[in-house]
Amino acid sequence: MWERAMATMVDVAREAEVSISTVSHVLNGTRNVETKTRNRVLKAIEKTGYRQDVLARSLRRSKTDSIGLVVSDAGEPAFAEMVHGVEQAAAERGLTLLLASSGEDAGREQRAVQTLLNRRVDGLILARAANSDHDLLAGLQREKTPVVLLDRLYRDQSLDQVGADNRESMRALVAHLAGQGHARFAVAAGDTRVPTLTERLRGFFDAIDEAGLRRADQLVLAGASHSDIEDSLAEGLSERSCTAVIAASTPLAVAALRALERSGLATPADVAFATFDGFNHPDMFRPRLTTVRQPAFDMGVAAVRLLVERLGSPTAVPQSVRLHQAIEYRDSTEAYGLDRHRP
């Protein structure tokens, strides 16, 4: 069989000796067609090796059955999980996923969104970059393309969005530690332009206040540079007498653990340690870190659900979904090392 251009509906129609519109209708099951005719068409499709051109179909219907996902960093395991969840949920609904990564860069993010919009995706899921352009969302609201915010949320709840219960999780974690007797914390809070991290920091202060501890006693390390945070923490750990260290994300945990190592401190013997998001297989390696686990996969799934619901009813009131994060307590916050810090 020689090289031949891809068969179109015209070829199928000719082969089956029917009109092109009949072919279309058996393809889409969009109107009744006599069984005999249908079988002729089916056979013709088989014979010609016809494959539907989704492009032409989309152009005509002005609907692409595809969604776009822009994440801030496809490399981060947590985001990779979200991508996975989005992909799976989208595939289940017959939606194709267009993926872009902004690399935490506002410019690339802006361009990625443009690209996907130009491709006429039916909807967009967006985990914004840390320095995301504020106008981006405003512009997006003006579009007719539905948008769902993922992980990196927006105070103004005029958009569909799905994230974790960051503030409450941090509050509960710190309350637990305070209950163990910890009174001086060091928090690697990170880039407070990232809403997720801001929320976690808020939760921290919630717990501090609740426990009747002094904010001034706490060592809060904010900033975009992880190495700066590492340095400050290493310094702060020797000067102050923090008994517990909390990292607000996995990269921050890496920085914090390095700082601990530089200070010659071990966990939990010298200092308690807990992290958000966390590492894979935390039970398999020492130290076993207490971790607030982000339900990343489920967040991706939920984002697709919200998006599909929005596609179904464009004027419904926006939803803001918060998924619960489980706190997995492990060795690194065992209380036995604590008494040595007590007066």
Residues that bind a copy of itself (CB under 8 A): 3, 6, 51-56, 58-59, 64, 66, 74-75, 77, 80-81, 83-84, 87-88, 91, 96-101, 103, 108, 112, 114-120, 144, 254, 257-258, 279-281, 284-287, 297
Q: Specify whether the CB–CB gap between 311 and 160 falls below 8 A.
A: no
For residue 54, the minimal CB distance to DNA (Å) is 8
Closest CA to 69 of 124, 14, 151: 124
Query: Cβ closer to DNA: 25 or 171?
Result: 25
- Read off the amino acid at residue 302: A
Among 47, 49, 56, 134, binds DNA (CB under 7 A): 56
Residues 226, 229, 232: CA angle, nearest 5 degrees = 155
H-helix segments, 131-285: 134-142, 166-179, 195-210, 226-239, 250-262
Is residue 60 at the binding interface for DNA, with CB under 7 A as the rule? Answer: yes
DSSP H or E segment with residue 106: helix 106-118
For residue 78, the minimal CB distance to a copy of itself (Å) is 10
Is residue 140 at the binding interface for DNA, with CB under 7 A as the rule? Answer: no
For residue 33, the minimal CB distance to DNA (Å) is 4
Query: What are the two backbone dihedrals, phi and then psi, of residue 188, each rounded to the nearest 5 degrees?
Result: -85, 95
Is residue 5 at the binding interface for DNA, with CB under 7 A as the rule? Answer: yes
107: partner contacted, choices a copy of itself, DNA, none (Cβ within 5-8 A by kind): none
For residue 54, the minimal CB distance to a copy of itself (Å) is 5
Residues 240, 244, 245: CA angle, nearest 5 degrees = 90
Is residue 33 at the binding interface for DNA, with CB under 7 A as the rule? Answer: yes
24: partner contacted, choices a copy of itself, DNA, none (Cβ within 5-8 A by kind): DNA
- Read off the amino acid at residue 115: T
Strands, E assignment, 72-193? 96-101, 123-126, 147-150, 160-164, 185-190
Residue 183 CB partners (closer than 8 Å, separation 6+) = 213, 217, 243
CB under 7 A: which stretch of 51-59, 133-141, 187-195, 322-330 binds DNA?
A: 51-59
Helix, strand, or coil (residue 161): strand
Query: Cβ closer to a copy of itself: 216 or 284?
Result: 284
Is residue 17 at the binding interface for DNA, with CB under 7 A as the rule? Answer: yes
Task: Tell me which residues touch DNA (CB under 7 A).
Answer: 5-6, 8-10, 17-22, 24-25, 27-28, 30-34, 36-38, 50, 52-53, 56-57, 59-62
